Amino acid sequence: MKDNFFGREYDIAPAGGETGQAFVATHEDEKFFLKRNSSPFLAALSVENIVPKLVWTRRVENGDVITAQKWVNCHILTRDEMNGARVAALLAKIHHSETLQHMLEKIENCYFSAEQLLTRLKAEVAARENATNSMVEAIRYLELNLPASEQTEYVVCHGDVNHNNWIISEDNELFLVDWDGAMLADAANDVGMILYQYIPRNGWEVWLSSYGTQLTTDLHRKLKWYTICQTVMQLTLNQSVEANERAKQIFQNAIEDDEV
């Protein structure tokens, strides 16, 4: 497939991914990563070097907005690499960035407290004809333990921190990509999903130290609460079999955590 941008004809090919909204554009020695209808937040992330550099944005005839980012030769982090200190440090940089928080809140009203997330989840589960017993039991747990999660310091959360969204360039730059689910919420939304998915329990303290905090009973409860909430929400969505199985496993890891 070919398309024309700024007077140049580019060869366009799908870039993979679950949404089908990402493409690779090439013209002679130029190569870009294109995405249809990315969040306007992408520009702020580019400035902060959280994602590969944003080169241009263009609205096309059908109203879609196309963004072009610098193409980087890279590899996707493995599950084992998620245990590294660099992942923890970059996530902490994102969560502690007042610049990113101010930019995201300008774009849309996307604050989500624990109570708001639970209300949204209950509506999604109630709308399902085939809600499982596990979902119902999870809702009950979240309702009973909500007070432990109500106090929220809102930060920029990515919302889908699985290893497929972390890349390292040939220049050894670490990026976190695919920000369509960004929101302002408790940092435990992201941190819990990494810990329960990738980090052995005996490694939590070290990973959290690299992130810049310590594991306390209150934090542990919060990590469990938000991870259960987020994974059950994922299980209500129309997603790939792989993503569904991943959410089920993380949910089981969290719900079976009997330390808190």
Distance CA 232, CA 244 (A): 10
DSSP state of 150: -
Contacts of 129 (CB under 8 A, 6+ apart): none
Q: How many CB atoms lie within 10 A of CB 200?
A: 9
Beta strands in the chain (DSSP E): 2-5, 8-14, 22-27, 30-36, 54-59, 65-70, 74-76, 155-157, 166-169, 174-176, 183-185
* Phi and psi angles of residue 216, each rounded to the nearest 5 degrees, phi first: -120, 170
171 has catalytic annotation: no
Rounded alpha-carbon distances, angstroms, from residue 116 to 112, 185, 226:
6, 10, 12
CB 210 within 8 Å of CB 85: yes
Pick the catalytic residue from 29, 64, 80, 160: 160
Report, as residue numbers or ranges, the catalytic residues. Answer: 160
